[in-house]
């Protein structure tokens, strides 16, 4: 079997990698995983793009946490994205911390970690890095690009920036630009990290990260991934390992304990500076901005078929955002299907057990 089809691979591509913000990286390393084999005609490749806190470990165990891949409910044998049929690629985004070039990477010009000398990046830069990876893998055209949340932003950007390379786009629980509310939540997280004295202007030691600040950032963000209905059903006002409140500031409530656990476990697998850079890239995302704010113009040259999926309880990227994309695609004459699915689980619904979403995606890919 060709070595390119092994799992957990990375490639360093020499030469300057220019960025949308004007910065330049002297070289580009992309960490990625693949599942399945590319067919003889090279027509069965699917790129899956991960969300903010995701990585390339799409459908296999994470090397740090030991947990199963983050989208095993969608990708795997007998699932809509079955490696028996598709050649599935998932790359750690530019700016990430699981092997792709990011703030924790060594700058070859100085021999030291980039830290806050890393240039600011955009969603479009992430897509260009993925395009270079596909060139390296010999994949000219993608049968589909699939992504939820920030992954959906990448999927839409693929269709706009590389229209001839994408046959189908599945964009789930996403938006064509970041809202003021979303930017506000990200700023709270960034300020929590930068207020941690251990952050030290981004020059912290790798094994002594600003854990307190990053944990608080994760806690604040995690709330936005859930819903009031889901939190009430799962936790309500139930107490954590006690029969009465302590009249103190320990985690009296189950929901407090849950959020603290989410924050602490996140620190084990994610880099604080990467969190700063990736959230900033999301905040800058606005597909319509280069087209005088007209989203239909952004989609004018697309050649893909589109499938948009939203969830009723997602208040981070509500259905109105998906409808805005659908209207713009309709105005551009692009073929698009759209479904809003019932779920009490908020934004994270696309990562949880969602049989209706799986049926939609399976039908769209096989049509």
**pLDDT, the chain, mean:** 95
264 burial via Cβ count (<10 Å: 0-12, 13-18, 19+): middle
Distance from C-alpha of 343 to C-alpha of 323, rounded to nearest angstrom: 18
Q: Region 200-229: what's the mean pLDDT?
A: 95
Question: What is the arithmetic mean of pLDDT over 69-91?
Answer: 97
Structure tokens at 332: 């551009």
What per-residue confidence (pLDDT) applies to 206?
85
Task: State the CB neighbour count (10 A cutoff) for residue 340.
Answer: 15
For the record, the structure tokens of 8 come out as 């957990």
- The average pLDDT across 250-272 equals 93
Q: Measured between alpha carbons, how far is 60 from 62 in angstroms, rounded to an integer? A: 7
Residue 55 has pLDDT above 80, yes or no: yes
Of residues 81, 98, 7, 94, the one with CA closest to residue 45: 81
Q: Residue 154 gets which letter from DSSP? A: H
CB of 235 within 8 A of CB of 254?
yes
pLDDT of res. 4: 33
| pLDDT tens digit sequence for 99-146 | 999 999 999 999 999 999 999 999 999 999 999 999 999 999 999 999
Q: Which residue is associated with the tokens 């970690």? A: 113
DSSP 251: -
The closest alpha carbon to 336, from 348, 344, 345, 324, belongs to 324
What is the C-alpha to C-alpha distance for residues 180 and 269, in angstroms, rounded to an integer?
A: 28
Whole-angstrom distance, CA of residue 284 vs CA of residue 281: 5
pLDDT in tens, 316-339: 999 999 999 999 999 999 999 999
pLDDT at 95 over 60: yes
| Residue 8's pLDDT band (cuts 50, 70, 90) | low
User: Could you give the CA distance from residue 154 to residue 148 in angstroms, rounded to a whole number?
Assistant: 9
| Residues recognised as catalytic | 149, 314, 347
CATH superfamily, domain at 3-178+287-366: Alpha/Beta hydrolase fold, catalytic domain (3.40.50.1820)
Averaged pLDDT for residues 12-39: 96
Mean pLDDT, to the nearest integer, of 172-181?
Answer: 97
pTM, two decimals, is 0.95
Number of Cβ within a 10 Å radius of residue 276: 24
Residue identified by tokens 């596909």 is 134
84 has a pLDDT exceeding 90 = yes
Confidence of residue 68 (pLDDT cuts 50, 70, 90): very high
Alpha carbon distance 184, 179 (integer Å): 9
- Listed by start position, the domains of the chain span 3-178+287-366, 182-280
% of the chain surpassing 90 pLDDT? 93
- What's domain 182-280's architecture? Orthogonal Bundle (1.10)
């Amino acid at each position: 079997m060709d070595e390119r089809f092994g799992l957990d691979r990375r490639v360093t591509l020499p030469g300057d990698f220019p960025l949308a913000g004007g910065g330049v990286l002297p070289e580009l390393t992309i960490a990625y995983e693949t599942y399945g084999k590319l067919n003889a005609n090279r027509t069965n490749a699917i790129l899956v793009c991960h969300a903010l806190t995701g990585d390339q470990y799409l459908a296999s165990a994470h090397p740090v946490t030991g947990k199963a891949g983050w989208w095993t409910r969608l990708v795997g044998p007998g699932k809509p994205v079955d490696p028996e049929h598709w050649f599935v690629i998932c790359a750690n985004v530019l700016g990430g911390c699981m092997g792709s070039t990011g703030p924790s990477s060594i700058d070859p010009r100085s021999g030291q970690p980039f830290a806050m000398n890393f240039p600011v990046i955009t969603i479009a830069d992430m897509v260009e890095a993925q395009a270079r990876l596909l060139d390296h893998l010999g994949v000219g055209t993608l049968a589909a690009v699939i992504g939820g949340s920030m992954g959906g932003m990448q999927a839409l950007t693929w269709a706009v920036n590389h229209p001839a390379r994408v046959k189908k786009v599945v964009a789930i629980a996403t938006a064509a630009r970041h809202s003021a509310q979303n930017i506000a939540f990200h700023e709270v997280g960034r300020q929590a990290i930068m207020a941690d004295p251990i952050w030290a202007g981004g020059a912290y030691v790798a094994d002594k990260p600003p854990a307190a600040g990053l944990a608080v950032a994760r806690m604040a963000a995690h709330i936005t991934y859930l819903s009031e209905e889901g939190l009430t059903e799962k936790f309500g006002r139930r107490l954590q390992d006690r029969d009465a409140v302590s009249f103190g500031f320990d985690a009296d409530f189950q929901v407090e304990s849950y959020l603290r656990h989410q924050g602490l476990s996140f620190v084990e697998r994610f880099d604080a500076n990467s969190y700063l850079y990736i959230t900033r890239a999301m905040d800058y995302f606005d597909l319509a901005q280069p087209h005088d704010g007209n989203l239909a113009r952004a989609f004018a040259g697309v050649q893909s078929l589109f499938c948009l999926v939203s969830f009723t309880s997602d208040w981070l990227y509500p259905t109105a955002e998906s409808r805005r994309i659908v209207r713009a695609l309709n105005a551009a004459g692009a073929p698009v299907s759209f479904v809003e699915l019932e779920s009490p689980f908020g934004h994270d619904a696309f990562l949880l057990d969602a049989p209706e979403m799986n049926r939609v995606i399976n039908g769209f890919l096989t049509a």
